[in-house]
Amino acid sequence: LTGTSREQRAFQYVLAHAIPGDPHHILQTFDQWCYHCEHLSCVGPDKGRIVERVLLEQAPLRVLELGTYCGYGTVLLAQGLPPGARLYTIEGDPRHAAVAEKVIRLAGFSEQTVELIVGPSEEVIPRLREKHGLMNANLVFMDHWKRCYLRDLRLLESHQLLAEGATILADNVLFPGAPHFLQYAKTCGKYHCKVHRANLEY
């Protein structure tokens, strides 16, 4: 009825209620909107704690996020980066990317820290090294279309974009599910797998 998307309405709420430059408060404000107003498929606070724990344990210097959506996960990742680290985030939908760009900058992260790349992941991944300067990633956070998980993991492998000992953190592999990705990760012999049990978003 308003002519604006759910994502835009959520951003307007964040803009009105969140403290600019405070990533934690921006995430909390998003959570309030999602709990009480409209559902968004953001990472959410429950699974967010898993992401924060991985960031704390690994202190990755080069992080790649597949599926920026509204920028919630991006802000979550960016606030946990060690000094001098860089986050590359890929979003295929230009409308979502436009919202995410505002959210990321509102949280106080510059383009030097967070680079938002708009385009289909299968087209962007092969160009990450030469066009965006990502030699390889220490941590990859997958939160885009589940059917793309396996394809994009293989793309990262074939373009040698995974650093030695890299961590792949993939959301929603059980529900709605990414069975082919999960089977490959468990049986290909390249990865040690761990499933984190968590609630769905909100």
Q: Decide if 152 is catalytic.
A: no
**Secondary structure in 3-state letters for 68-125:** CCCCHHHHHHHHCCCCCCEEEEEECCHHHHHHHHHHHHHCCCCCCCEEEEECCHHHHH
The residue type of 123 is E
Active-site choice (31, 101, 146, 152): 146
Q: Decide if 31 is catalytic.
A: no
User: For residue 3, what pLDDT is reported?
Assistant: 83
Spatial contact of 72 and 43, defined as CB atoms under 8 Å apart? yes
Q: Decide if 93 is catalytic.
A: no
Q: Decide if 172 is catalytic.
A: yes
User: For residue 82, what pLDDT is reported?
Assistant: 96
Whether pTM > 0.95 for this model: the answer is yes
Structural domains present in the chain:
6-188 (3.40.50.150)
* Mean pLDDT per 10-residue segment, the chain (202 residues): 88 98 98 96 94 97 98 98 97 98 98 98 98 98 97 98 98 93 97 91 84
Q: Decide if 143 is catalytic.
A: yes
User: For residue 1, what pLDDT is reported?
Assistant: 60
Active-site choice (7, 31, 65, 143): 143
Active-site choice (171, 186, 190, 199): 171
**Secondary structure in 3-state letters for 118-187:** ECCHHHHHHHHHHHHCCCCEEEEEECCCHHHHHHHHHHHHHCCCEEEEEEEEECCHHHHHCHHHHHHHHH
User: For residue 192, what pLDDT is reported?
Assistant: 97
The residue type of 101 is E
